[in-house]
C-alpha cells in the first residue's frame, strides 16, 4: 500500500517507542516464507505486512514500475529483501523493531549512526505537532536525513520590493552562536543540526528579520528584508561567523573587522588597514618609513593588493605612515597568505582583497573625521532612489605645520603631503543586473630639505557588471584601467637630477559562479592584463648638474589566465577548496633586445642587438598552478587545515636599498629575467574554547622559490638598459610557525600573535654561493592588542609590537692604501642585524551615542603612538673620516611619542 513517507515514519517512530527493543538499531531475527510472483513492489510489501509484524515505509515515486517476484522458504528477512531488491537501485535499513525503510542505495550506504537516529526522532517529533507554528519555515524532509544528523542550508537574502540581493547582511543562529555573511550575490551557507532554530538577519538601513525554521535536511531558504530607518548598532563590516576560524576551509586567510580597525591606536589617529594587518601572525614590515608589508618572508612586491579588481602598486601614503585605503568606504578586507584561491594570481606571497561598498540607495549620509595631520570625508546617497546610488570619499594631509616645530633645519625645510579620492556609482539595471563605475586617484609628495624628494601618484578607473542568471548561477565582469607614476628628485650637488618611472595596465576579468547543488560552489573564469611600463628616464634638474639625460624604451607584457576553483562540502566534517590556474605571459615589442654570447648576460659577452616590431612576441612563459585547501572538523570547536599552492609572478620591483621606495622600478619578465615561481605549503590546527569566546591556532608553513633574482654587489639599477647584467639568479626558501590567541568578547578582549620564521636566499655570486638572509628576515615577531571596553561607548586599547632587527650588510674592518685612502671591508650579504624593534601605543575611543532621535553622531579617538619614545632604527649606516674608522649611525624615523586627537562625525 502507498503511504506518504512522513506519515509512515511518524507511525514507525510510535511503534519503535512502544515495542520492547533488543537494541537501538537492530530488531529480533525474523524469518519469512512467501510465494509472490509478478507483482509490483507495493503489492509485495502489503502482502508481507499482512503475514508478518512488519511495516514498510517508502516513497512511491522512487519505486520502479515493473513486476517483481519473491519466492522464499524460511529465509531471513534481510536476505529475502536483498534478493527482492537486487535488480533495482534500492536498498533498505531496519529501524528499531519491525520498521523497514526502503530508500535509494546512495542514502542507505551512508552508514547511519546515533546522531542520525536522534535527528530522525527530532524530525518526527516536529511532524507530530498538529497545530501549525506561525512564521515557521520547513527546510527539507526527514527521508533525506544525512547520516551525520546535520544539514547544509543555502540561503538568499533579498530586498522585499525589488528582489535585489542584500550584500554583507549578517545572519546569526540564535542560541547556537553560529553565523554567516551574505556575499555579493546575497547568498550565504550554514550547516545546522536537524531541529528548530531561530535566524536573526541584520543589515544597515533595513529592519532586522527574525525567522523560525525547522530543519529536516539540506535545502534552500529565501529571506526578504524591508528598508527602515532604524538605529542599529554599528555594523561590523566584513563580519565573520563566530566559529569562522574553525569552520572556514581556506587556510591562511585573515578577514579584518573594520570596526576594530577604527579603535586601534594609529599614527596621528588615522585608522589604517595596513597597520591592522601587521598585527596578524605572518605579516610584518621593516619599520616606520617603509612602504607596503611583508607576508611570510615575502618581499613587498610579492603581494597582490586589489581594490575591487584594480591592482594597487603602492598601498601606502607618506612613506608608509598611512594606508592607501579609506576605511569609511570599505565593505570587506581579506588577506590570503601563501595558499591563494585560483581566482587570484600574478604574485607569490599573498593577496590583499579590499572590496569597496555601495552607496546608500535611500538616504544621504555624511561621515568623516578631523585629525592633527589629516582629515577625511565620505558622502553617499541615492541618485535614483532604490535604483542608483553613489559614494564618494576624500582624504588629505596637512602635516607641514608639525615639521616646522622641529629644531633640525633640514626637517623644518621639509614637506609631506598626500591626498586620495574615491568615487563609486552603482546602478541596478534590472532585478538581476547591476553596473558599477568607480574611480580612484591618489598623490603623494615628500621633500626632505634641500636633499631629495619623492612624488608619486595613482589613477584608476573601473567598470563592473554583475549578472544573476538564477539563484545558483551568476557572473561578474570587470574592466580596469590604471596608471602609477613616480618621480625621485636629487636636489643637491653635481648629481642633481629627476628620475621618472611609471607603469600602467588594462585588465579584463570574467568570473562565473555556480552552485550546482547544496554544498558545492564552482568559480571559473578568464582574465587578461596588458602592462605598459617606463623602466626609467633621468634628466638633469638644473644647469649645474652633470647628469646626462637618458630614457629607456617602454616595455609591454600581456599576462593572461584561465582558472577553475571548487569549494565542496564532502561531509559535515570535511570541506575542500581546490582549483587550477593556467597562466600565460608574453613579453611584447616594440623593443631592442641585446644578445649575449652563450646567452650569459654580461657587458663582456655583448655581441649584437635585435629590434622587435610593435606587438611582436619576444619571450613567452606559461605557468600551471594547482591550488588546494582542506579542512577536517573533528568537533564543533576543533579543526585541522592544510593547503598547497603553486604561484608565479611576472612583474617584480627592482631595488638595492634597504627597502623599496615609492620610486623603485617595476620590471616585467623578459627573455633574460624569468618569472619568479613558488611552491607554498601550510598546515594548521584550530581550536575554540568556552563557546567560541577564545580562539586559538597554530600554523606551520613553508615556501620554496625558484628563479629568484638579486642584484650584484655595487649594482647600478637606475636607467640601465642592460639591467639583466646586474642581476643574479638563484632560489629562496621561507618557513615558520604562527601562533594566535584571541578573546572575542568581554570586559577585556584582544589578540596575541607570534611568528617564528626564517627567510633565506642562495644565489651564485653572492656570499660565496651559500644561503644568506633576505632583507626581510625577522625570526621573532610578536603583537599584542588588548581592549578594555567598560561600556558600549568607551574603549581603551593597548597595542604592543616586537620584532627582530632586520639583516644588513656593514663594514667589519678596513685598510689603507699606500696613499692613505681608507678602504672598508664589508661583511657578507646581510650577515649583521640592526637593533630590535619594539613599540607600545595607547588609544581611548569615545564611541557614538545610541539615541534614536540624534541624527548627527560624533565620536573621539585619543591616541599615543610610541608611548615610551623608542628610537627604533630604520637603518644603520656608516660614515668615515680621514682620521677615524667607520662609525655606525642609527637612522630613526620616529624617536618620540606622538599624541593625537581625532574627531569623527556621521549623519544618519
Domain co-membership, 288 together with 174: no
Q: What is the 3-state secondary structure (H, E, C) of 596-657?
A: EHHHCCCHHHEEEEEEECCCCEEEEEEEEEEEEEEEEEEECCEEEEEEEEEEEECEEEECCC
CATH number at residue 199: 2.60.40.1120
Rounded mean pLDDT, 310-336:
86
Residue 379 pLDDT more than 80? Answer: yes
Residue 343 pLDDT more than 90? Answer: yes
Domain co-membership, 104 together with 172: no
pLDDT, tens digit (0-9, with 9 covering 90-100), for 667-702:
999 999 999 999 999 999 999 998 888 999 999 999
Domain enclosing residue 404, as ranges = 253-907
**For the packed helices 114-127 and 5-18, what is the interaxial angle rounded to 10 degrees?**
110
Residue 125 pLDDT more than 70? Answer: no
Residue 441 pLDDT more than 90? Answer: yes
Residue 26 pLDDT more than 60? Answer: no
Residue 446 pLDDT more than 70? Answer: yes
CATH number at residue 32: 3.55.50.30
Rounded mean pLDDT, 301-307:
93
Distance between CA atoms of 235 and 225, rounded to whole angstroms? 16
Q: Would residue 131 count as lying in a domain? A: no
Rounded mean pLDDT, 367-373:
87
For the purposes of burial, counting CB atoms within 10 Å of the CB of 362, is it exposed (0-12), middle (13-18) or buried (19 or more)?
A: middle
**Do residues 149 and 41 touch, judged by C-beta distance below 8 A?**
no
Could you give the C-alpha distances from 768 to 47, 595, 833, in angstroms and in order?
A: 89, 28, 20
Residue with cell 568556552: 690
Q: Give the pairing type, strands 99-104 and 55-57.
A: parallel
The 3-state DSSP class for residue 143 equals helix
Residue 894 pLDDT more than 90? Answer: no
pLDDT, tens digit (0-9, with 9 covering 90-100), for 617-653:
999 999 999 999 999 999 888 999 999 999 999 998 8
pLDDT, tens digit (0-9, with 9 covering 90-100), for 239-249:
455 677 888 88
Domain co-membership, 224 together with 257: no
Expressed in angstroms, the distance from the first to the final Cα of the chain is 64
Residue 11 pLDDT more than 60? Answer: no
Domain co-membership, 87 together with 159: no
Domain co-membership, 315 together with 197: no
Domain co-membership, 403 together with 274: yes
Q: Would residue 116 count as lying in a domain? A: no
pLDDT: which is higher, 223 or 234: 223
Q: What is the 3-state secondary structure (H, E, C) of 148-187?
A: CCEEEEEEEEEECCCCCECCCCEEEECCCCEEEECCCCCE
> What torsion do the CA atoms of 320, 322, 327, 333 make, to the nearest 10 degrees?
10
Handedness of CA 91, 95, 98, 99 (dihedral sign): negative
Is the preceding omega at residue 468 within 30 degrees of 0, hence cis?
A: no
**Confidence class for position 270, pLDDT limits 50, 70, 90:** low
pLDDT: which is higher, 109 or 458: 458
Residue 264 has a pLDDT of 62
pLDDT: which is higher, 140 or 866: 866
- Which residues touch 432 (CB under 8 Å, ≥6 apart)? 467, 468, 469
Residue 526 pLDDT more than 50? Answer: yes
Domain boundary among 180, 200, 232: 232
Q: Determine phi and psi for 545, rounding to 5 degrees.
A: -70, 140
Q: Would residue 566 count as lying in a domain? A: yes
Q: Within 10 A of 220 (CB to CB), how many other CB atoms are there? A: 16
Q: Would residue 411 count as lying in a domain? A: yes
**Do residues 673 and 722 touch, judged by C-beta distance below 8 A?**
no
Could you give the C-alpha distances from 168 to 48, 236, 332, 358, 766, in angstroms and in order?
A: 56, 10, 9, 11, 50
What is the helix (H) or strand (E) element at residue 82, kind and residue range? helix 77-84
Domain co-membership, 678 together with 803: yes
Q: Would residue 263 count as lying in a domain? A: yes
pLDDT, tens digit (0-9, with 9 covering 90-100), for 478-524:
999 999 999 989 888 888 899 999 999 999 999 999 988 878 899 99
**Domain total in the chain:** 3
Q: DSSP H helical segments within 544-655, as ranges?
A: none
Q: What is the 3-state secondary structure (H, E, C) of 340-358?
A: CCCCCCCCCCEEEEEEECC
Residue 754 pLDDT more than 90? Answer: yes
The 3-state DSSP class for residue 160 equals coil
**Confidence class for position 661, pLDDT limits 50, 70, 90:** low
How confident is the prediction for the chain on average, in pLDDT? 83
Q: Determine phi and psi for 681, rounding to 5 degrees.
A: -130, 155
Q: Would residue 238 count as lying in a domain? A: no
Q: Would residue 565 count as lying in a domain? A: yes
Give the pTM: 0.74
Domain co-membership, 77 together with 144: no
Q: Would residue 246 count as lying in a domain? A: no
Amino acid at each position: 500500500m502507498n503511504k506518504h513517507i512522513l506519515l509512515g515514519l511518524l507511525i514507525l517512530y510510535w511503534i519503535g517507542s512502544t515495542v520492547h527493543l533488543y537494541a537501538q538499531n537492530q530488531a529480533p531475527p525474523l524469518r519469512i516464507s512467501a510465494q509472490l510472483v509478478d507483482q509490483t513492489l507495493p503489492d509485495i510489501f502489503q502482502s508481507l505486512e499482512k503475514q508478518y509484524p512488519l511495516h514498510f515505509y517508502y516513497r512511491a515515486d522512487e519505486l520502479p514500475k515493473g513486476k517483481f517476484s519473491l519466492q522464499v522458504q524460511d529465509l531471513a528477512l534481510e536476505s529475502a529483501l536483498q534478493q527482492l531488491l537486487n535488480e533495482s537501485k534500492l536498498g533498505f535499513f531496519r529501524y528499531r523493531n519491525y520498521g523497514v525503510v526502503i530508500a535509494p542505495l546512495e542514502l542507505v550506504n551512508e552508514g547511519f549512526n546515533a546522531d542520525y537516529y536522534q535527528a530522525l526522532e527530532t524530525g518526527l517529533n516536529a511532524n507530530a505537532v498538529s497545530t501549525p507554528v506561525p512564521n515557521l519555515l520547513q527546510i527539507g524532509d526527514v527521508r533525506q536525513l544525512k547520516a551525520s544528523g546535520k544539514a547544509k542550508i543555502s540561503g538568499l537574502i533579498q530586498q522585499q520590493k525589488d528582489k535585489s540581493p542584500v550584500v554583507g547582511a549578517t545572519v546569526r543562529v540564535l542560541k547556537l552562536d553560529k553565523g554567516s555573511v551574505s556575499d555579493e550575490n546575497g547568498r550565504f551557507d550554514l550547516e545546522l543540526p536537524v531541529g528548530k532554530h531561530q535566524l536573526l538577519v541584520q543589515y544597515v538601513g533595513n529592519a532586522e528579520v527574525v525567522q523560525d525554521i525547522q530543519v529536516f535536511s539540506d535545502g534552500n531558504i529565501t529571506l526578504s528584508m524591508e528598508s527602515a530607518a532604524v538605529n542599529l548598532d554599528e555594523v561590523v563590516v566584513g563580519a565573520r561567523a563566530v566559529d569562522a576560524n574553525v569552520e572556514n576551509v581556506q587556510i591562511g586567510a585573515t578577514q579584518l573587522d573594520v570596526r576594530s580597525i577604527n579603535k586601534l591606536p594609529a599614527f596621528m589617529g588615522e585608522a589604517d588597514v595596513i597597520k591592522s594587518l601587521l598585527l596578524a601572525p605572518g605579516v610584518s614590515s621593516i619599520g616606520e618609513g617603509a612602504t607596503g608589508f611583508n607576508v611570510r618572508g615575502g618581499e613587498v612586491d610579492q603581494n597582490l593588493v586589489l581594490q575591487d579588481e584594480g591592482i594597487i602598486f603602492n598601498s601606502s601614503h607618506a612613506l608608509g605612515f598611512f594606508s592607501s585605503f579609506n576605511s569609511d568606504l570599505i565593505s570587506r578586507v581579506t588577506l590570503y597568505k601563501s595558499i591563494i584561491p585560483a581566482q587570484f594570481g600574478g604574485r607569490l606571497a599573498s593577496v590583499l582583497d579590499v572590496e569597496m561598498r555601495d552607496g546608500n540607495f535611500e538616504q544621504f549620509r555624511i561621515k568623516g573625521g578631523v585629525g592633527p595631520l589629516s582629515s577625511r570625508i565620505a558622502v553617499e546617497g541615492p541618485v535614483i532612489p532604490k535604483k542608483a546610488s553613489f559614494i564618494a570619499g576624500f582624504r588629505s594631509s596637512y602635516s607641514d605645520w608639525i615639521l616646522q616645530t622641529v629644531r633640525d633645519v633640514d626637517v623644518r625645510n621639509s614637506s609631506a603631503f598626500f591626498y586620495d579620492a574615491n568615487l563609486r556609482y552603482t546602478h541596478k539595471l534590472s532585478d538581476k543586473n547591476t553596473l558599477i563605475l568607480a574611480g580612484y586617484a591618489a598623490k603623494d609628495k615628500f621633500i626632505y630639505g634641500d636633499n631629495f624628494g619623492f612624488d608619486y601618484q595613482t589613477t584608476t578607473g573601473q567598470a563592473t557588471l554583475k549578472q544573476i542568471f538564477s539563484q545558483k548561477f551568476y557572473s561578474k565582469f570587470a574592466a580596469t584601467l590604471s596608471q602609477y607614476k613616480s618621480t625621485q628628485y636629487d636636489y643637491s650637488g653635481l648629481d642633481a637630477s629627476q628620475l621618472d618611472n611609471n607603469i600602467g595596465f588594462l585588465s579584463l576579468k570574467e568570473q562565473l559562479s555556480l552552485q550546482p547543488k547544496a554544498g558545492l560552489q564552482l568559480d571559473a573564469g578568464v582574465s587578461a592584463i596588458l602592462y605598459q611600463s617606463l623602466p626609467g628616464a633621468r634628466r638633469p634638474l638644473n644647469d649645474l648638474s652633470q647628469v646626462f639625460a637618458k630614457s629607456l624604451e617602454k616595455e609591454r607584457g600581456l599576462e593572461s589566465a584561465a582558472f577553475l576553483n571548487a569549494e565542496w562540502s564532502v561531509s559535515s566534517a570535511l570541506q575542500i577548496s581546490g582549483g587550477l590556474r593556467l597562466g600565460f605571459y608574453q613579453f611584447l615589442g616594440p623593443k631592442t633586445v641585446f644578445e649575449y654570447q652563450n646567452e650569459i648576460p654580461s657587458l663582456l659577452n655583448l655581441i649584437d642587438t635585435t629590434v622587435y616590431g610593435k606587438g611582436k612576441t619576444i619571450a613567452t612563459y606559461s605557468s600551471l598552478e594547482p591550488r588546494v585547501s582542506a579542512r577536517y572538523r573533528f568537533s564543533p570547536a576543533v579543526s585541522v587545515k592544510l593547503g598547497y599552492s603553486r604561484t608565479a609572478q611576472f612583474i617584480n620591483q627592482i631595488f638595492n636599498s634597504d627597502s623599496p621606495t615609492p620610486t623603485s622600478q617595476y620590471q616585467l619578465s623578459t627573455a633574460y629575467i624569468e618569472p619568479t615561481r613558488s611552491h607554498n605549503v601550510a598546515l594548521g590546527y584550530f581550536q575554540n574554547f568556552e563557546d567560541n569566546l577564545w580562539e586559538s591556532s597554530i600554523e606551520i608553513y613553508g615556501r620554496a622559490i625558484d628563479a629568484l633574482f638579486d642584484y650584484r654587489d655595487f649594482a647600478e639599477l637606475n636607467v640601465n638598459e642592460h639591467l639583466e647584467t646586474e642581476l643574479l639568479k638563484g632560489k629562496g626558501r621561507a618557513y615558520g610557525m604562527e601562533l594566535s590567541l584571541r578573546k572575542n568578547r568581554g570586559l577585556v578582549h584582544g589578540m596575541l600573535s607570534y611568528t617564528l620564521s626564517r627567510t633565506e636566499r642562495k644565489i651564485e655570486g653572492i656570499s660565496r654561493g651559500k644561503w644568506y638572509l633576505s632583507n626581510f628576515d625577522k625570526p621573532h615577531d610578536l603583537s599584542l592588542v588588548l581592549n578594555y571596553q567598560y561600556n558600549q561607548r568607551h574603549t581603551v586599547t593597548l597595542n604592543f609590537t616586537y620584532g627582530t632587527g632586520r639583516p644588513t650588510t656593514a663594514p667589519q674592518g678596513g685598510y689603507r692604501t699606500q696613499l692613505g685612502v681608507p678602504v672598508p671591508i664589508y661583511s657578507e650579504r646581510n650577515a649583521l642585524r640592526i637593533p630590535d624593534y619594539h613599540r607600545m601605543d595607547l588609544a581611548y575611543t569615545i564611541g557614538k551615542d545610541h539615541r534614536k532621535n540624534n541624527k548627527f553622531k560624533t565620536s573621539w579617538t585619543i591616541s599615543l603612538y610610541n608611548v615610551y619614545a623608542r628610537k627604533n632604527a630604520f637603518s644603520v649606516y656608516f660614515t668615515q673620516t680621514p682620521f677615524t674608522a667607520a662609525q655606525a649611525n642609527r637612522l630613526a624615523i620616529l624617536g618620540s611619542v606622538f599624541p593625537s586627537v581625532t574627531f569623527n562625525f556621521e549623519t544618519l
